[in-house]
Amino acid sequence: MSIFEVKDDLFKICLVGDGGVGKTAIVERFLGKGFASTYNLTIGTNICTHTVDVDGSRVKFQIWDLAGQQRFEFVRSTFYRGSHAIVMVFDVTNPNSLSNLHEWKIEILKNLNGKHENLPIVLLGNKSDLQHKQVIDQDAISKFKDELQMEFHADSTAFMYTSALSGMNIEESFEVLGLLLLKKRDPKSYIDKSSSNFKVETNLPSPKTSNA
Ligand SMILES: Nc1nc2c(ncn2[C@@H]2O[C@H](COP(=O)(O)OP(=O)(O)OP(=O)(O)O)[C@@H](O)[C@H]2O)c(=O)[nH]1
Ligand SMILES: [Mg+2]
């Protein structure tokens, strides 16, 4: 099996967003490795796997944590193939990191060769522990949410504020992602399960924090 092939029971996820927004920190927190305050930029991509329980099912993620720096644009194009979902990350203290997600969206669409219909997308506003420095207004976020919903599908998108530093919403974001993937794979079973014991807002839910 080549590195680009993914087994049936594994979901390939690409994390995208500008250099420094916290993609690697999010993944490390998710893997239980804690938080490092030093910035070691990713070169190319880091790949890891992690299995979690989502709504009673075992969900295996194969996570491709892509290098966000511009200079890796060329090499990144080869990494999207076969992705089952995308996590788009911006830094709530850096407006450019949100506006640049438009370019990331174009890069994703280009490299998925049209295979993006109903692609689960989770948008994360990271570094939300730095609320005193938050400069991005809600309108800009709402606008980009609308853009994602237009391009993909309202039922396959979700938004959350996260902090890799505090751990806020890190596990929850992957849980939401897992639910979107399970729902896409088996809509009937998902509806049956979700009606009995799990409720998730897939249509770009409000952040879990009250002041977001
Ligand atoms: N305060 C705070 N700092 C964070 C958070 N997440 C990441 N950082 C810091 O932001 C810097 C960049 O984090 P990385 O995870 O390396 O960023 P990246 O998106 O992987 O960057 P590239 O690999 O270049 O694409 C590091 O110094 C992290 O410690 C967060 O939630 N809160
Ligand atoms: Mg990184």
pLDDT digit string, tens, across residues 165-205: 999 999 999 999 999 999 888 877 665 444 333 333 333 34
Q: 83, 63 in Cβ contact below 8 A?
A: no
Determine the average pLDDT of the residues in 54-82.
Answer: 93
Determine the average pLDDT of the residues in 7-12.
Answer: 75
Give distance in angstroms: CA of 107 to centre of ligand 2. 18
pTM confidence score: 0.88
CB of residue 76 inside a 6 A radius of ligand 1: no
What are 131-150's pLDDT values in tens digits? 888 888 889 999 999 999 88
Would the pLDDT of 63 be above 50? yes
Determine the average pLDDT of the residues in 113-129.
Answer: 89
Considering only residues 209 and 103, tell me which one the structure prediction assigns the higher pLDDT. 103
- Mean pLDDT for the chain? 85
Q: What is the pLDDT of residue 106?
A: 94
Q: What is the pLDDT of residue 171?
A: 96
CB of residue 44 inside a 6 A radius of ligand 1: no
Instruction: Give CA torsion, residues 3, 102, 16, 39, to 10 deg.
Output: 140
Percent of the chain with pLDDT over 90: 67
Task: Report the SS3 class of residue 157.
Answer: strand
Ligand 1 atom showing the smallest separation from residue 40 Cα: 16
Among the bound ligands, the one closest to the CA of 23: 1
Q: What is the pLDDT of residue 177?
A: 95
DSSP 115: T
Give distance in angstroms: CA of 73 to centre of ligand 2. 14
User: 18 Cβ partners below 8 Å, 6+ apart?
Assistant: 68, 90, 91, 94, 96, 97, 100
Percent of the chain with pLDDT over 70: 83
Q: 171, 147 in Cβ contact below 8 A?
A: no
What are 90-115's pLDDT values in tens digits? 999 999 999 999 999 999 999 998 77
DSSP string, 44-90: SEEEEEEEEEETTEEEEEEEEEE--SGGGHHHHTTT-TT-SEEEEEE
Q: Where are the alpha helices (DSSP H) in the chain?
A: 23-30, 73-76, 95-99, 101-111, 138-151, 170-185, 187-197
| Beta-sheet strand order (sheet of 121-126) | 45-54, 57-66, 10-16, 85-91, 121-126, 157-161
Determine the average pLDDT of the residues in 71-84.
Answer: 93
Confidence of residue 209 (pLDDT cuts 50, 70, 90): very low
Q: 156, 202 in Cβ contact below 8 A?
A: yes
Would the pLDDT of 3 be above 90? no
Question: What homologous superfamily does CATH list for 10-197?
Answer: P-loop containing nucleotide triphosphate hydrolases (3.40.50.300)
Q: What is the pLDDT of residue 202?
A: 39
CB of residue 16 inside a 6 A radius of ligand 1: no
> Please, which residues bridge with residue 157 across strands?
121
